[in-house]
Amino acid sequence: MLTRPIVWIPAAGAVLIAAAVVLSLFQPWKLVVDERVNEALPTSQTTAPQTVAPTTPTTPTTPPTTTPTPPTAEPTILAEGTFISHEHETTGTVRILEVADGQRVLRIEGLDTSNGPDLKVWLTDAPVLEGQAGWYVFDDGAYVDLGVLKGNLGNSNYSIPADVDLADLTSLSIWCDRFSVSFGAAQLTQTA
C-alpha cells in the first residue's frame, strides 16, 4: 500500500509537519549551543563633566577649561543570593543593585546553566526549595518578568521597573516559560 504515490505523499507531508512542530517546541539545538554574555557592572556618574568658557577675552593660546570627570559611583547592593539547581545544573550569583541615579538593576554573575527554549528571568515571592519540589513553584504566586535570559553563560544586567516593590519579591528563577519549570533559582537576602 505504501508503494502507491497517492498514499505516500500525504504520509510524508504529515511526518514533515509533525517534525516541524516538535522542532519549534523543543528547540533541541539549544542543548549544544551556548549563549555567552559579559555585560559590565552597572554604574552611573554623579554629575556630567562640564566645559567652562573663560569670562575674559581669550587669545589663541588660552583654551577653555574642562572640569575633571567625576568618578563613577559604585552601586549599592540591596539583596543577593546564590543559585541552586532545579531542572538543569545551574551555578552563579545574583545581586540587586541600586546605582547613584536611583535605578535598580538585577545582576547575574558567573551564570552557568543549560540553554533552553523561552528562558526568562523572574523575580518572585516563592520560596526556593531544593530538588524537584522547587521546580514548579515560581508561577504559583506573584512574579515580575524581567525579560528573556540574555545568555546561559556569563554576566548580565536586567532593569527593574521603578514601580516594582522589592519587599515581597524574595527569589529569582531562571524560568522556562515553554515548559513551566525552573532551571535554577536563588533565594535573595536583603543587605541594605
CATH code for the domain of 79: 2.60.40.200
> In sequence order, what E strands does 125-152 have?
143-148
Give me the pLDDT at residue 31, please.
63
The Cα 83–Cα 111 span in angstroms is 9
Is 172 within a domain?
yes
Give me the pLDDT at residue 32, please.
64
With contact defined as beta carbons under 8 Å apart, do 99 and 83 qualify? no
Is 53 within a domain?
no
The Cα 132–Cα 55 span in angstroms is 71
Is 16 within a domain?
no
- Output DSSP code: residue 134: G
Is 125 within a domain?
yes
Is 117 within a domain?
yes
Q: Which residues contact 19 (CB under 8 A, 6 or more apart)?
A: none
Q: What are the tens digits of pLDDT across the range 22-34?
A: 556 556 655 668 9
Number of domains in the chain: 1
Is 23 within a domain?
no
Q: What are the tens digits of pLDDT across the range 79-135?
A: 999 999 999 999 999 999 999 899 999 999 999 999 988 999 999 999 999 999 999
Q: What are the tens digits of pLDDT across the range 126-184?
A: 999 999 999 999 999 999 999 999 999 999 999 999 999 999 999 999 999 989 999 99
The Cα 136–Cα 138 span in angstroms is 6
> Is the pTM here over 0.85, yes or no?
no
Is 170 within a domain?
yes
Domain extent at residue 97: 34-39+75-190
Is 55 within a domain?
no
